[in-house]
Amino acid sequence: MNRRDSVTALFALCAALHTAQAQQPDHMRRVGVLIGLRQDDPESKTRIATIRKGLDELGWTDGRNVRIDFRFGGDLARIQAQAAEIVQSTPDVILVSGTQGLAELLRQTRSIPIVFAVVADPLGQGFVPSLSKPGGNVTGFSSTDDTTHGKLIELLKDLNPSITRVLVMADPNEPANARRFLAIQAAATALKVRLDRVDVRSDVEIERGIDAYAREANGGLLVLSSTYLTNRRDTIVAAAAKHRLPAIYPFRYFVTTGGLLSYGIDPTDLNRRATDYVDRILRGAKAGDLPIEQPTKFELVVNLKTAKALGISIPESILLRADEVIR
């Protein structure tokens, strides 16, 4: 081969490599991710990092062989809009974190595979016909065994035996509330605790509900899980602190925000586990063949700084059971 032929071959090789690199993004696998929280929420950042790390450890690196498109909510209207945009982009698989997000995605598609995390009672809500064989295009990791919600009342009574009434704060758009409330009622009846419920749709309703309830003595606050209430946790925690109202929350990040006590699943763990199902689907598995897994890890978190500010002494029995104590 003469010099001219060698140069020509080199240019041809460079052109081929350039073309391959230019075409590579179009051949990448695509994963759409819908997180129900606001984009600027610290918990959203934790879930982003968890999902990226989980996929990377399984061989899927964003920008190299997969494109991960993150979308965020904050309220129901935005979740609906973001769900529609993800479906229209036709990714290979969708990972959704949050119950409302899953409900919206299933209204939009029954063909794109969906893996969920932090979704309450998928069987009871009709998202799937079976946990062991969900069929269709959806599978994932349930966030709660609703019967465990009675534990929240028990913990409040352990915290302060003089509590005789508890305000249950709920999001009226959260369909899992009915079964949760039944479990809470059963525990409250056994412990002779009176329950009151307030459905809230705004910061004003949150503050008014807590203000009114705190006027009487021997009260406590129990906040049910929902995307909306998670997005309003600063308001809730501040209102409870204002009235020195003992409160228990469903997730650790309420306590790191300044809440007193939380008991529930670890969302980071569920999102990490969900990346395994995303990987399996990208490699050929069908979502409907993958069994839905129930939560196995629950954590009790206590904030001693908040307890001191509220003038509450945390019993040793709770501290010994706590998975994390914030000092």
Largest CA distance in the chain: 96
pLDDT for the residue 248: 97
Sign of the dihedral defined by the CA atoms of residues 68, 286, 47, 35, in that order: positive
pLDDT for the residue 23: 40
HEC readout, the chain: CCHHHHHHHHHHHHHHHHHHHHHHHHHCEEEEEEECCCCCCHHHHHHHHHHHHHHHHCCCCECCCEEEEEEECCCHHHHHHHHHHHHHCCCCEEEEECHHHHHHHHHHCCCCCEEEEEECCCCCCCCCCCCCCCCCCEEEEECCCHHHHHHHHHHHHHHCCCCCEEEEEECCCCCCHHHHHHHHHHHHHHCCCEEEEEECCCHHHHHHHHHHHCCCCCEEEEECCCHHHHHCHHHHHHHHHHCCCCEEECCHHHHHCCCCEEEEECHHHHHHHHHHHHHHHHCCCCHHHCCCECCCCEEEEEEHHHHHHHCCCCCHHHHHHCCEEEC
pLDDT for the residue 75: 86
- pLDDT tens for the chain, 327 residues long, are 555 555 455 455 454 444 444 444 447 999 999 999 999 999 999 999 999 999 999 999 999 999 999 999 988 899 999 999 999 999 999 999 998 899 999 999 999 999 999 998 899 889 999 999 999 999 999 986 666 788 999 999 999 999 999 999 999 988 788 888 888 999 999 999 999 999 999 999 999 999 999 999 999 999 999 889 999 999 999 999 999 999 999 999 999 999 999 999 999 999 999 999 999 999 999 999 999 998 888 999 999 999 999 999 999 999 999 999 999
pTM: 0.86
| Neighbour tally for 269: CB within 10 Å | 17
What domains sit in the chain, N to C, each tagged with a CATH number?
29-144+267-297 (3.40.50.2300), 146-266+299-326 (3.40.50.2300)
Angle between helices 76-88 and 99-108 (to 10 degrees): 40
Sign of the dihedral defined by the CA atoms of residues 182, 183, 185, 190, in that order: positive
- Are 55 and 275 contacting, i.e. CB atoms less than 8 angstroms apart? yes
Q: From CA 106, how far away is CA 69, in angstroms rounded? A: 18
